[in-house]
Amino acid sequence: MSSSLQSILGAEPLAAFENPGSVARGLPGKAYTSEAFFALENERLFAASWVFAGFAHELARAGDAVPVTVAGQPVLLLRDAEERIRAFHNVCRHRCLKLVDTPGNVGRAVRCPYHSWAYGLDGALLAAPYFGGPEPRAAPPGFDREQHGLVPARSAVWHDWSFADRTGGAPPLDDFVAPLQDRLEGIDLTLMRHLVTIDLGEVAANWKLLMENFIEPYHVQFVHPTTTEQPLTDHYTVNDPGCLGCAVDVSGDAKRENTLSADSRYLTLFPNFVFGLYLPDQIGVHLNVPLAPDRTLQRRAIYSLDPERLPADRAEKLAKLWRDVHLEDHAICERLQKGRVSDAAAAGGVLSPVWEDSVRSFQELVIRRLQ
């Protein structure tokens, strides 16, 4: 066991987590509140994983750029001249200024506002004006422009979802997404059409609490009694290697647009990709961006699988419904966060072996990556 984990979480709480009985304990409270634990997650967990970073449809044209945060560091998603989405460290190579601060189109080059260093859409340094003297193109002796382009980060796109692997240690993306794809039972994701994105802002809760809340079905009938009609007995957990979550199957005559009572799959890819399938024709994907031990930025994109043109007001109705559901979840997760500072939370609480086995697997992945 990592001595750094012991020093952060405490030897006894960590030992209790590592030695589950018939009812396993959850992660110690400090896993959700400690700055040191959060730093370790950025260093060891997010840095060498496929981190879900953004939506490809938001980079529709060459030159479109979206600043994101990956493993606690500024990264830039950029559509290049060949229509590929690239990822770069969002830092000028001159004085290390954050290059792009808001989404937009940069034209043919990313230009630093400080001293006007310019980079092509492929990351190459195009200009470093006056760097070597009073002439615009002057360069210091021995300065090699080719060695001072933007620092790339490994990136890939799966359907509408952009992933970044900051240090290059993750497996091939096809292998990463395969366990989730296997759970889609022949659903053709190429039919997806983006309907609406809901910006949910900052949630005052650790990113893991939002992930765990999505993974387990135990809370649904208690937290969402007015927005869903999904009794617990209709649910089952999904605890596959590489894909964690839950699902619900209900009869066809119960599928109504004003509730979430369709056959549903709530699936995740570790660490932060969240995919909801709501048959017959709806998909929802969450983007959870960890900002601090107690703050997470959240957005949700909603897609349709229906090839027919949908009523104009459907996106608006879905956005309202899902915003209401998220606000219910946020209220719970923020109270979970507040509870984690208590001494009574040091040992981590307990997990249902029936309804929270996939949560336990998620937490084991966290610890394993940090060891």
CATH number of the CATH domain containing 55: 2.102.10.10
Tell me which H or E stretch contains 300. strand 295-304
pLDDT attached to residue 340: 97
Same-domain status, 100 and 232: no
pLDDT attached to residue 21: 84
Same-domain status, 226 and 93: no
Q: Is the dihedral of CA 89, 94, 95, 99 positive or negative?
A: negative
CATH of the domain at 307: 3.90.380.10
How open is the CA angle 17-21-25, to the nearest 5 degrees? 35
Structural domain range at position 271: 183-345
* Mean pLDDT of the region 307-326: 87
Nearest Cα neighbor of 268 from 293, 287, 292, 243 is: 243
Same-domain status, 188 and 148: no
pLDDT attached to residue 94: 98
Residue 73 lies in a domain: yes
Residue 202 lies in a domain: yes
Same-domain status, 217 and 299: yes
Same-domain status, 145 and 231: no
* Mean pLDDT of the region 321-336: 96
Residue 167 lies in a domain: no
Same-domain status, 188 and 144: no
Residue 6 lies in a domain: no
- Identify residue 100 by its one-letter amino acid code: V
Residue 257 lies in a domain: yes
Same-domain status, 281 and 326: yes
Phi, psi of 9 (to 5 degrees): -90, -20
Residue 178 lies in a domain: no
Tens-place pLDDT, residues 184-203: 988 999 999 999 999 999 99
* Mean pLDDT of the region 200-210: 98
Structural domain tally of the chain?
A: 2
pTM over 0.75: yes
C-alpha distances (whole Å) from 151 to each of 69, 71, 109, 263 are 15, 15, 15, 44
pLDDT at 111 > cutoff 50: yes
Residue 99 lies in a domain: yes
The token pair that represents 334 in the structure block:
């923020």
Same-domain status, 273 and 128: no
Nearest Cα neighbor of 286 from 335, 322, 337 is: 322
Tens-place pLDDT, residues 37-82: 999 999 999 999 999 999 999 999 999 999 999 999 999 999 999 9
Same-domain status, 245 and 317: yes
Q: Within 13 A of 216's CA, how many CA atoms are on the CB side?
A: 23
Same-domain status, 146 and 227: no
Same-domain status, 149 and 190: no
Same-domain status, 191 and 151: no
Residue 329 lies in a domain: yes
